[in-house]
Structure 1
């Protein structure tokens, strides 16, 4: 039920974002760097980094404020999402902070390369490559849901450059381990059936997906990844659904142990400034796993907004207000 609500919220919330132009001006320098339909990376192991596609936003400098505490903002989406989820907010964040903003497609999502792994160690190496390739320093790194675990893994990496991050923000995601809902496997099966049927219309694809999911909102969310196959008259998914099926367990995992966990994985902590933004109607961050957030991230703050799982999309104004306050407040 939690996944069901989150998916429904995502569709409604993304539509709401279309109606917040007052948050930012129109004269943005926007660029998109991507390959077509997602490329297959020639990699032999899941931890080898891939080059992530992205959109770049930079508000015009017209005497406005520029954050003294961060030099860039990097945004990461959740499972089945893409850089497009952050487009409106990315522009708003750039205007409010006066810094450049990068919205990424994580591996196997959007138009980023496909690689046979969904491990968070792999995602962390991708982020490391992106930071290096774009000479990013002193950045605020933000991730929602699956992206939240990806950015936490990057911050905890033993190879993290000392000057890479100024702030870390995880939106409604803790570092806790746990299995994904069985619904994810059902959705993947439906998406695979759509690909194998070589549907010639989106309506035909939706009819197939109805056998796996009755809620229209969830189907609409999943079908945002449906694109016309290059040079063909049928539809396919831009995400590698069969590959993701093989790695669903990795998405519920986390690569490190904290001092509160007596396991076999490396014990890591990060003492930089971290913010966990919880949706009050969501259970992804709860009283049981919140101590894990504080164990891994010694300088963590917590805020709660009156939303479900899609915090930044359901209440973008409050989210940006909390984000800017977090960035601009000097460390105590």
Structure 2
């Protein structure tokens, strides 16, 4: 189902070492998506568009829904199609027990192949940033598919996830299993035990299953699958020297966030030798906290390349 203002791809502007998991790669799934297209009058499909689309990969517990407003702004400012995706197990996309970066990257490549997309720019935030980087570094990346890479506040580092994410999953699982919590307000109040920040609690509750309204709370995200996958989500499929991508790459760092550290720069450059980095006065949710500046940085980067 599309968000208001979105268009299905058939009407889209003419577009021309290993994980902790030892499982073999799962077959790709068909990802759900929205499309925001630009023309001089509206965000409708523009058959004369020549620029490749900007595809967006959300972070952990995010979805394409989180990029509705910014997707429209980006389409207007960049004068190109903007396509936020729901990654597997999130939003309206299919669910699967396998959830590692190689598999999620294959989903994105499959999406592009299915819809005959080329010359794309790929933007990913947090977990989605690692998905985007994995797409760029995959040895089977189709020639001519990727032209620009934008990574929002994450680095290609192998590390454990910070402790709040396991805490969030545990809290959501307990709320779902409670059986007596039937409203978003009750779930919001209960989540206070696991996260004091009200904005983050509201964000986590965007994952509620709307079909269970008035019934015991249920999340549309397979929480146990996500909990099992957390070690892989903190990891990265490549070590420095194993792979590189020579296209234009932009890292956007939040100055108040520790997800990109200066000591990571050599590793980042080993994977992406033609990289640059911009820092915005923000935390990890950089595109939300500094949306205007975030759009301006992307617009300048894509304009230069």
Deviation sequence 1:64-123 (CA, Å, 0-9, x none): x9986x411101110011101211111111112221111101111111111112210011
What's the CA shift for 1:32? Answer: 6.3
Unaligned runs of 5+ in 2: 10-22
Report the counterpart of residue 205 of structure 1 in structure 2.
Answer: 187
| Pairing 1:306–2:281 present | yes
What's the CA shift for 1:57? Answer: 0.5
How many residues are aligned here? 285
Deviation sequence 1:109-161 (CA, Å, 0-9, x none): 11111111221001110001111011110011000011000000000001101
| Pairing 1:50–2:29 present | yes
How far apart in 2 are the matches of 1:31 and 1:95? 14
Greater relative contact order structure (CA < 8 Å, 6+ sep): 1
Deviation sequence 1:203-252 (CA, Å, 0-9, x none): 33234323333333332221121234459722211111111011110110
How far apart in 2 are the matches of 1:89 and 1:202? 25
Instruction: Report the CA distance shift for 1:231/1:93 in structure 2 as closer, same or farther (over 3 A).
Output: closer
| Pairing 1:256–2:231 present | no
1:1-332 equivalent positions in 2, closer than 5 A: 30-31=6-7, 46-61=25-40, 70-198=51-179, 199-230=181-212, 233-259=215-241, 267-330=242-305
> What TM-score, normalized by structure 2, do the two folds share?
0.86
Q: Which runs of 4+ in 1 moved over 6 A?
A: 65-68
How far apart in 1 are the matches of 2:103 and 2:40? 36
- Residue 168 of structure 1 aligns to a residue whose secondary structure is strand
How far apart in 2 are the matches of 1:278 and 1:194? 33
Deviation sequence 1:249-281 (CA, Å, 0-9, x none): 01100001122xxxxxxx100001111111111
Instruction: Report the CA distance shift for 1:62/1:181 in structure 2 as closer, same or farther (over 3 A).
Output: closer
How far apart in 1 are the matches of 2:156 and 2:49? 28
